[in-house]
A and B are shown apart, each in its own frame.
Chain A
Amino acid sequence: KAGVTQTPRYLIKTRGQQVTLSCSPISGHRSVSWYQQTPGQGLQFLFEYFSETQRNKGNFPGRFSGRQFSNSRSEMNVSTLELGDSALYLCASSLDPTSGAPSYEQYFGPGTRLTVT
């Protein structure tokens, strides 16, 4: 079974631009979560999508948004980029715990390294 894939792997943008990152979950996984990883803040939860609906949201400004498609693929968008948005953005997928025991671990993609200059 193919793992979680993320595109692009690396991205360089300038302040004020916007960016869209893509994530394809493991086949059969309908829950997709996004995280921002930085050396100073560690792993921070951005949001989680299930069945094309945002189910959970972390404490990030409205410039960060996302969506999920009917095939469970997900995108996240960051508008009006700031220098502080430079980070590794990780996507993770899992089976839906509401359909059974809440024991499902998340599987992570390799991440997209975003650099804002």
Chain B
Amino acid sequence: AQSVAQPEDQVNVAEGNPLTVKCTYSVSGNPYLFWYVQYPNRGLQFLLKYITGDNLVKGSYGFEAEFNKSQTSFHLKKPSALVSDSALYFCAVRDGGNNFNKFYFGSGTKLNVKP
């Protein structure tokens, strides 16, 4: 069965420092991986995705993610954090089998960027 784990409920980082939000996954078949961000009282916003190709994927707002097949990880990164990056981040994997468009989401990681 497909699943996603975000081992950290919360990540704290100072503005200007690099940030990493961790995600590991378990899938049968090819992984289709996504990161989303949610601001308070809002829906989820798509940040980036990995389907195939380069292991380093670049997305919106300066975020990037590194796909590591051997470690089954898809960590979200940003070289220099902004206070405005403070939000809830979700990693997701899409079922690549017959159940098209069934997404499995991690439990979310709250990112706090302090000035």
Q: Name A residues whose Cβ lies closer than 8 Å to a Cβ of B.
A: 4, 6, 31, 33, 35, 42-43, 45, 48, 50, 55-56, 90, 92, 94, 96-98, 101-103, 105-111, 113
* Nearest-Cβ distance from residue B114 to partner chain A, whole angstroms: 23
Does more than half of chain A's interface fall in helix, strand or loop, or is it mixed?
A: strand
Q: Name B90's contact: one of A6, A33, A43 (CB within 8 Å).
A: A43
User: Which range holds the interface residue count of chain B?
Assistant: 20 to 34
| Known interface pairs A42-B107, A48-B102, A102-B32; A108-B49 also in contact (CB < 8 Å) | no
* Nearest-Cβ distance from residue B23 to partner chain A, whole angstroms: 14
Complex Cα spacing A109 to B42, Å: 8
* Interface assignment of B34: CB less than 8 Å from any CB of chain A: yes
* Interface assignment of B68: CB less than 8 Å from any CB of chain A: no
Check B101 against A31 for contact (C-beta < 8 Å). Answer: yes
Q: Name B residues whose Cβ lies closer than 8 Å to a Cβ of A.
A: 32, 34, 36, 41-46, 49, 51, 90, 94, 96, 99-108
Check A43 against B101 for contact (C-beta < 8 Å). Answer: no
Complex Cα spacing A35 to B99, Å: 16
Check A103 against B101 for contact (C-beta < 8 Å). Answer: no
Complex Cα spacing A81 to B103, Å: 26
Q: Name B32's contact: one of A4, A92, A103, A109 (CB within 8 Å).
A: A103
| Known interface pairs A103-B49, A103-B51; A45-B102 also in contact (CB < 8 Å) | yes
B-side contacts of A107, CB under 8 Å = 46
| Known interface pairs A43-B105, A48-B102, A105-B49; A90-B90 also in contact (CB < 8 Å) | no
